[in-house]
């Protein structure tokens, strides 16, 4: 447990970007958490700015959280607000409103807030892969002067902070990190005669078949097309890349590289030849249709219709209430092509940022310093199976996750983010083009391999370089 492992963990989390991105919304309910300036478990903390000067704070601060309201997170937020009021007496009368934004609506809602000037958040959570694009779009306030005087800054994982920095200006602070792994049920593995978690593609496919045979009517695996954050692990697990950037900043698409093509062939084959994934997952995210906030593999796994699927630990919150068995749920890292080490995994997470047009810049930053201090960010991460953004806290929590978290912890040792945090990645991987999802979908539906992959590769390079496919 020496320095080597520790730095590996840090490096893993360093790549952090939005796991959050592909959570793709939990539920569309939005609720407000207002908090009185009273009680709360607040003990003054080291990581505060104390820089606030105004005598009377704003009447209210609005925080946009992503996903659906989760009770434990509401409780957490209430205690943070109490701490905020205690630490910054000038904000004692400032009400903090939390608005829950479904993941699928976030860019639309940011755009509306920016363009209309109405209903703007003071603070917004955003997926780490969103940050470069949104910073370039101009919705985030620069934080350099705040960061230089904040005691929390130096403890943050440097790579996570670097992801939020463009040309020397930092636009967001990392709040938590997270990774995906394969979910399975230990009781099902036992009945199917699987003694050890698969560590190669061949084993993964064979185990999916075994599970389907042991549990007729279920699907063995979820070869969904619209979750590039998960599919990336197959490309990286074959030693391939999605796209690479040279020293001059020019992107080259790598989809037609033999290693990447091997990953595409294997993944498409899970549906077309191995038949371990149902046709309905074509065109779906892990939560069903592109804009859906529940359903899909996540729901099917909970209901016992799907034996293994890829998701992050945060997805426990969206499992259906009538899930058949939550006691035996466990996880293993996404296998690489030939094992024995797991495939690199997309290092996701969320950031906190001050909205550029917020009239309460200082108060918003002051609240961030409380939400994101080491104690609060770590307790928040622990609520949902995330990792803290602080190097010291990650090291401390390495061995405390339990069996369900073990697979994720192992996966987190091997994280990668590029090119999923490229400035134009949002254009490449969302509704306008959905380049890789559409390519996988068309291949699964019988399109010719070489020309389809080549067309997607050209499109990808064009978009990453110019922001436009043509």
Structure tokens at 44: 């003054």
User: Among 157, 433, 461, 464, which residue sits at the site for other proteins (rule: CB under 8 A)?
Assistant: 433
User: Among 10, 13, 437, 463, which residue sits at the site for other proteins (rule: CB under 8 A)?
Assistant: 437
Interior CA angle at 382 toward 377 and 387, to 5°? 65
Number of residues that bind other proteins (CB under 8 A): 42
In the complex, minimum distance from the CB of residue 31 to other proteins, in angstroms, rounded to a whole number: 23
Please tell me whether residue 400 binds other proteins under the rule CB under 8 A.
no
Contact 31, 69 (CB under 8 A): yes
In the complex, minimum distance from the CB of residue 212 to other proteins, in angstroms, rounded to a whole number: 14
Build a one-symbol-per-residue string for 163-182: x at contacts with other proteins by CB under 8 A, - elsewhere: --------------------
In the complex, minimum distance from the CB of residue 184 to other proteins, in angstroms, rounded to a whole number: 21
Closest by CA position to 329, among listed 367, 360, 303: 303
Contact 165, 340 (CB under 8 A): no
In whole angstroms, give the CA distance from residue 385 to residue 315: 9
Contact 314, 46 (CB under 8 A): no
Contact 362, 88 (CB under 8 A): no
In whole angstroms, give the CA distance from residue 126 to residue 350: 5
Identify any residues that bridge with 183 across adjacent strands, giving them in sequence order. 309, 331
Dihedral sign from CA coordinates of 341, 347, 349, 352: positive
Q: What contacts 346, CB < 8 A, 6 or more positions away? A: 17, 19, 179, 180, 229, 230, 232, 233, 415, 416, 417, 420
Compare residues 235 and 433 and give the one whose CB is closer to other proteins. Answer: 433
Please tell me whether residue 292 binds other proteins under the rule CB under 8 A.
yes
Please tell me whether residue 218 binds other proteins under the rule CB under 8 A.
no
User: Among 375, 445, 449, 454, which residue sits at the site for other proteins (rule: CB under 8 A)?
Assistant: 445
In whole angstroms, give the CA distance from residue 204 to residue 182: 10
Q: Which stretch binds other proteins (CB under 8 A): 68-76, 202-210, 249-257, 275-283?
A: 275-283
In the complex, minimum distance from the CB of residue 137 to other proteins, in angstroms, rounded to a whole number: 6
Q: Which stretch binds other proteins (CB under 8 A): 108-116, 359-367, 368-376, 410-418?
A: 108-116
**Nearest 5°: phi and psi at 11?**
-60, -40
Compare residues 242 and 334 and give the one whose CB is closer to other proteins. Answer: 242
Compare residues 282 and 412 and give the one whose CB is closer to other proteins. Answer: 282
Q: Which stretch binds other proteins (CB under 8 A): 204-212, 269-277, 409-417, 423-431?
A: 423-431
Closest by CA position to 240, among listed 227, 255, 221, 218: 255
- Omega before 185 within 30 of 0, i.e. cis: no
Build a one-symbol-per-residue string for 45-84: x at contacts with other proteins by CB under 8 A, - elsewhere: ----------------------------------------
449-466 vs 435-444: helix axis angle to the nearest 10?
170
Please tell me whether residue 283 binds other proteins under the rule CB under 8 A.
yes
In the complex, minimum distance from the CB of residue 445 to other proteins, in angstroms, rounded to a whole number: 6
In whole angstroms, give the CA distance from residue 261 to residue 267: 10
Please tell me whether residue 37 binds other proteins under the rule CB under 8 A.
no
User: Among 409, 441, 443, 464, which residue sits at the site for other proteins (rule: CB under 8 A)?
Assistant: 441
Build a one-symbol-per-residue string for 223-242: x at contacts with other proteins by CB under 8 A, - elsewhere: --xx----------------
In whole angstroms, give the CA distance from residue 44 to residue 31: 28
Please tell me whether residue 43 binds other proteins under the rule CB under 8 A.
no
| Binding interface with other proteins (CB under 8 A) | 104, 107-108, 111, 114-115, 117, 133, 137-139, 225-226, 278-280, 282-284, 288-292, 357, 426-427, 430-434, 437-438, 441-442, 445, 455, 467-470
């Amino acid at each position: 447990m020496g320095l080597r492992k520790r730095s590996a963990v840090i490096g893993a989390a360093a790549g952090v970007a939005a796991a959050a991105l592909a959570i793709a919304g939990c539920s569309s309910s939005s609720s407000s958490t207002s908090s009185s300036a009273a009680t709360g478990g607040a003990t003054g903390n080291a990581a505060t700015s104390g820089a606030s000067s105004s005598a009377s704070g704003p009447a209210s601060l609005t925080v946009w959280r992503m996903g659906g309201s989760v009770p434990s997170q509401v409780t957490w937020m209430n205690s943070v607000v109490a701490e905020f009021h205690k630490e910054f007496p000038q904000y004692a009368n400032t009400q903090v409103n939390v608005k829950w934004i479904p993941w699928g609506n976030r860019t639309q809602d940011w755009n509306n807030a920016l363009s209309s000037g109405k209903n703007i958040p003071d603070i917004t959570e955003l997926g780490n892969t969103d940050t470069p694009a949104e910073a370039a779009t101009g919705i985030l306030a620069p934080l350099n002067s705040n960061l230089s005087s904040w005691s929390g800054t130096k403890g943050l994982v440097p790579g996570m902070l670097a992801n939020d920095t463009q040309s020397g200006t930092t636009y967001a602070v990392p709040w938590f990190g997270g990774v995906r792994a394969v979910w399975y049920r230990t009781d099902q593995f036992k009945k199917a005669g699987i003694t050890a978690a698969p560590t190669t593609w061949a084993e993964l496919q064979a185990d999916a078949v075994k599970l389907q045979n042991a549990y007729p009517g279920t699907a063995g695996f979820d070869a969904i097309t619209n979750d590039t954050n998960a599919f990336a692990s197959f490309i990286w697990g074959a030693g391939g890349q999605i796209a690479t950037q040279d020293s001059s900043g020019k992107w080259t698409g790598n989809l037609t590289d033999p290693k990447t093509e091997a990953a595409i062939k294997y993944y498409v084959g899970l549906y077309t030849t191995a038949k371990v994934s149902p046709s309905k997952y074509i065109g779906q995210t892990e939560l069903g249709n592109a804009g859906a906030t529940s359903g899909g593999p996540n729901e099917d796994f909970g209901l016992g219709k799907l034996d293994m699927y890829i998701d992050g630990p945060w997805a426990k919150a969206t499992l259906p209430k009538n899930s058949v068995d939550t006691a035996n749920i466990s996880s293993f890292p996404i296998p690489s092509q030939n094992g024995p080490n797991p495939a690199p995994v997309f290092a996701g997470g969320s950031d906190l940022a001050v909205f550029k047009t917020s009239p309460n810049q200082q108060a918003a930053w002051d609240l961030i310093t409380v939400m994101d201090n080491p104690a609060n960010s770590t307790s928040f991460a622990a609520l949902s199976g995330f990792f803290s953004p602080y190097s010291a806290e990650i090291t401390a929590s390495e061995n405390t996750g339990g069996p369900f978290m073990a697979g994720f912890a192992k996966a987190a040792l091997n994280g990668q983010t590029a090119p999923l945090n490229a400035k134009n990645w949002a254009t490449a991987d969302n509704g306008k083009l959905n380049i890789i999802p559409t390519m996988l979908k068309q291949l699964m539906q019988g399109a010719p391999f070489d020309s389809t992959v080549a067309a997607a590769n050209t499109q990808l390079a064009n978009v990453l370089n110019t922001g436009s496919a043509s």
